[in-house]
Structure 1
């Protein structure tokens, strides 16, 4: 057992103020478990409790020269308690922000779904104005996701003819969609 372990808290505090690392190590060894138990009891979270206790000792070392400690035991307990309160407050704000972001994202997805449905309705309406074969090729290929060769076979036309109908349909819909978009927005 070294001499530093025999010192009282007041003596350790005085040595700490002068930057004595063995005194700091002794304070750390003496109080780490007690502070951890205190933090864990309040948080019920092992990692958070360990992090808080480490932060308390880091703060103690950084501010060692300016500290005016009457009772090291009470001071360390108070530092830990306030660190837990700050952690809880920060955690609560983070969860509130995550909830807000989640709500905004859900609203944005809903708006996107509405926009997509509206756009699909407009495209369907525009495609209904096309000549019959042109309309069928477009709707089967683009709206029902059938391959162009399957559409050509189903309509009993050549693949080149189906490609021609699709090209015409896309040109007409794009031209009219631009007019509709200008009208809407």
Structure 2
């Protein structure tokens, strides 16, 4: 019968390769605290350090047949914990990039959505104010701005002078500018 706490690391490693659970328990008891302190200092997170050390020992047990029975057990464990810590950092870096990328997408989507909503509101307000113009002025304005007809073409179509058409368009723009100026200002606050 072995007194496991008096065995060397290499003797414990050898017994581990022979499926000796008590040897594994001794390795765990001997190295857990040191590995935890090492991981905790590097990760600055005790819970994450516990997880990393527990995962290391789970892997050690599941791959016990691959442990070099005469190798340096402490060097093996410190190398393994270092690699796991590096994996955590790499995973965090990828995770942070993903979160940042997702946040940028959401921010851009929010800005685009906000812009589209404001654009629709503005189009509605403009349409509302155009419809509020006096009937003849509205007709002249729409022929000028929506159908892109010249003042001369509108004058001929409606049987009015070009000066009347020019004055009506000018007045319509002045009215719309006055009415929409406040709305435009409020919409883009």
Partner of 2:164: none
Report what 1:88 is aligned to: 89
Report if aligned partners of 2:36, 2:53 keep a CA contact under 8 Å in 1.
Answer: yes
Other structure's SS at 1:18 match: coil
Give yes or no for the alignment of 1:24 onto 2:24.
yes
SS of 1:65's equivalent in the other structure is helix
Highest RCO, 1 vs 2 (Cα 8 Å, sep ≥ 6): 2
Task: Give unpaired runs (5+ residues) of structure 2.
Answer: 134-189
Question: What is aligned with 2:53?
Answer: 53
Find the aligned partners of 1:83 and 1:92 in 2 and give their Cα distance.
Answer: 14
| Alpha-carbon separation, structure 2, partners of 1:92 and 1:81 | 17
Question: Which structure has the larger Rg over C-alpha atoms?
Answer: 2
- Pairwise CA RMSD of aligned residues? 1.6
User: In structure 2, what is the Cα distance between the partners aligned to 1:10 and 1:86?
Assistant: 27
Any idea what SS the aligned residue of 2:108 has?
helix
Residue in structure 1 matched with residue 107 of structure 2 by the alignment? 106
Aligned to 2:127: 126
Please give the per-residue CA displacement for 1:121-166, whole angstroms capped at 9, x wherever unaligned. Answer: 112223334469xxxxxxxxxxxxxxxxxxxxxxxxxxxxxxxxxx
Shift of 1:7: 1.5
Q: Which runs of 5+ in 1 are unaligned?
A: 133-185
- Quote the residue 2:117 is aligned against: 116
Distance 1:74 1:66 in 2: 15
Q: Residues 52 and 81 of structure 2 are in contact (CA less than 8 Å); yes or no, is this contact kept in structure 1?
A: yes
Task: Using structure 1 for the length normalisation, give the TM-score.
Answer: 0.66
Report the Cα distance in structure 2 between the residues aligned to 1:15 and 1:21, rounded to whole angstroms.
9
TM-score, normalising length: structure 2:
0.65
How far apart are the structure 1 equivalents of 2:105 and 2:68? 48
Specify the SS of the correspondent of 2:19.
coil
State the shift of 1:14 in Å.
1.2
Q: Which residue of 2 aligns with 1:13?
A: 13
Indicate the larger mover: 48-57 or 66-75: 66-75
Moved >4 Å (runs of 4+): 129-132
Contact 2:13 2:67 in 1 (8 A): no
SS in 1 for 2:65: coil
Give the distance between the partners of 1:124 and 1:15, measured in 2 at CA. 83
Pair 1:78 & 2:93 matched: no
